[in-house]
Amino acid sequence: MDKQNPWYRRISSDFKHLNWKTFFIICGFGLAIGAIMSRGVESGTQLQASLTPAEAEELGAFPIVIPTIKYGFAIDTFHMVESEIAPNQFLGDILTAHNMDYVDIEKLVQNAKGTFDVRQLRAGKKYTILSKDTSQTADHFIYEPSVYAYYVFDLKGEQKVRKVERPIYREMRSSAGKIETSLWDAMVLNGMSYDLAARMEDALQWSVDFHHLQKGDEFKLVYEQNLIDGQDVGVEQVFAAYYKNFDNEHYAVYYSHPDVNKAGYYDLEGRPMNKGFLKAPVKYSRISSGYNPNRFHPILKRRRPHYGTDYAAPYGTPIVAVGNGVVTKASRTKGNGNFVKIKHNDTYQTQYLHMQKFASGISSGAQVKQGQVIGYVGSTGLATGPHVCFRFWKNGKQVNHLRLNFPPPKALPQEDLPGFFIVRDQYLEQLKAIPFENENITATN
**Are residues 103 and 64 in contact, defined by beta-carbon separation less than 8 angstroms?**
no
At residue 289, the pLDDT reads 65
At residue 259, the pLDDT reads 66
At residue 51, the pLDDT reads 56
pLDDT(210) > 50: yes
Q: What is the pLDDT of residues 42-93, one digit of tens each?
A: 444 444 455 566 555 555 555 677 888 999 999 999 999 999 999 999 999 9
Produce one character per residue of 198-213: b if its CB has 16 or more CB atoms within 10 Å, e if not.
Answer: ebbbbbbbbbbebeeb
The rounded Cα 364 to chain-centroid distance in angstroms is: 33
**Are residues 393 and 348 in contact, defined by beta-carbon separation less than 8 angstroms?**
yes
| Integer angstrom CA distances of residue 265 from 238, 370, 420 | 10, 15, 11
Mean pLDDT, residues 282-299? 61
At residue 248, the pLDDT reads 87
Residue 105 one-letter amino acid? I
Q: Taking the CB of residue 389, how many other CB atoms lie within 10 A of it?
A: 24
pLDDT(380) > 90: yes
Closest CA to 124 of 154, 152, 86: 86
At residue 392, the pLDDT reads 92
Specify the range with the lowest mean pLDDT, choosing from 100-109, 305-314, 363-372: 305-314
pTM of the model: 0.62
Q: What is the pLDDT of residues 145-176, one digit of tens each?
A: 999 999 999 999 999 999 999 999 999 999 88
Q: What CA–CA distance (Å, rounded) separates 425 from 414? A: 17
Helices and strands per DSSP (H, E), number in the chain? 9, 22
Q: What is the pLDDT of residues 224-261, one digit of tens each?
A: 999 998 899 989 999 999 999 877 899 999 998 776 56
Produce one character per residue of 371-382: b if its CB has 16 or more CB atoms within 10 Å, e if not.
Answer: bbebbbbbbbbb
pLDDT(6) > 70: no
DSSP characters for 316-385?
T-EEE-SSSEEEEEEEEETTTEEEEEEE-SSSEEEEEEEEEEEPTT-STT-EE-TT-EEEEEB--SS-SS
- In the chain, the domains with their CATH numbers are 6-60 (no CATH), 69-165 (3.10.450.350), 170-266 (3.10.450.350), 286-403 (2.70.70.10)
Average pLDDT, the chain: 82
Q: What is the pLDDT of residues 9-30, one digit of tens each?
A: 444 444 444 444 444 444 454 4
